[in-house]
Structure 1
Amino acid sequence: MISITTAELNTLLATFIWPLSRILALIASAPILGNPSIPIRVKLGLALMITILVAPTVEKSLPQIDPSTGIGLIILLQQILIGVAIGFVMRIVFVAVEMAGELIGLQMGLGFAIFFDPQNSGQIDIIGRFLGIIASLAFLAIDGHLMMIALISQSFSTLPVSPDGVTEATFTTLANWGSEIFKSGLQLSLPVLTALLITNLALGILTRAAPQLNIFAVGFPLTLSIGLLVLALSMPFYAPILEHLVHDSLRLMMGILNVSKINMP
Structure 2
Amino acid sequence: MSLRFLGILTVAPAFAASAFPIQVRLWLAFLLALFALPAALELPSPEPILTIGGLVTASTREYLLGAALGFFGSLPLYALQMAGRIVGMQMSFGMANVLDPFSEVQVSVVEQFKFLAGLWFFFHWNGHLLLVRAAGESLCLAPLGVPSLAFPLDPGLGLWMQRALVLAMRMVLPFFGALLLADVGLGFVARTVPQMNIFVLGLPLKVALGFFLLMVVLPMSIDLIHGEVERVVETALGILQVWR
Q: Is the shorter-chain TM-score for this pair beyond 0.5, marking a shared fold?
A: yes
When Rg is computed on C-alpha atoms for both structures, the one with the higher figure is 1
**Could you tell me how far apart the structure 1 residues matched to 2:162 and 2:69 are?**
16
Deviation track 1:57-108 (CA, whole Å, cap 9, x = no partner) reads 4355222113x52122111111111011111113333222111111111111
Following superposition of structure 1 onto structure 2, how do residues 141-156 of structure 1 map, counting pairs within 5 Å? 141-156=124-139
List runs of 5+ in structure 2 lacking aligned partners. Answer: none
List runs of 5+ in structure 1 lacking aligned partners. Answer: 1-18, 259-265
Deviation track 1:22-58 (CA, whole Å, cap 9, x = no partner) reads 1111111112112212222221221010112223443
Counting aligned pairs with the same residue, the percent is: 27
Following superposition of structure 1 onto structure 2, how do residues 53-202 of structure 1 map, counting pairs within 5 Å? 53-59=35-41, 61-66=45-50, 68-161=51-144, 162-164=146-148, 167-168=151-152, 171=155, 173-202=156-185
More divergent stretch after superposition (161-170 vs 105-114): 161-170
More divergent stretch after superposition (120-129 vs 136-145): 120-129
More divergent stretch after superposition (35-44 vs 131-140): 35-44
Does the 8 A contact of 2:171 with 2:217 survive in 1?
no
**Could you tell me how far apart the structure 2 residues matched to 1:129 and 1:166 are?**
37
Other structure's SS at 2:195 match: coil
TM-score in terms of structure 2 length: 0.90
What is the aligned partner in structure 2 of residue 236 from structure 1? 219
**Could you tell me how far apart the structure 1 residues matched to 2:150 and 2:13 are?**
22
Paired residues, number: 238
C-alpha root-mean-square deviation of aligned residues, in Å? 1.9
Give the Å deviation of 1:170: 5.4
**Could you tell me how far apart the structure 1 residues matched to 2:131 and 2:112 are?**
23
Amino acid at match of 2:16: G
Other structure's SS at 1:168 match: coil
More divergent stretch after superposition (225-234 vs 36-45): 36-45
The correspondence for 1:40, drawn from 19, 22, 40, is: 22
Structure 1 segments, 4+ long, off by >6 Å, are none
Give the Å deviation of 1:165: 5.6
More divergent stretch after superposition (176-185 vs 110-119): 176-185
**Could you tell me how far apart the structure 1 residues matched to 2:189 and 2:68 are?**
51
Other structure's SS at 2:164 match: helix
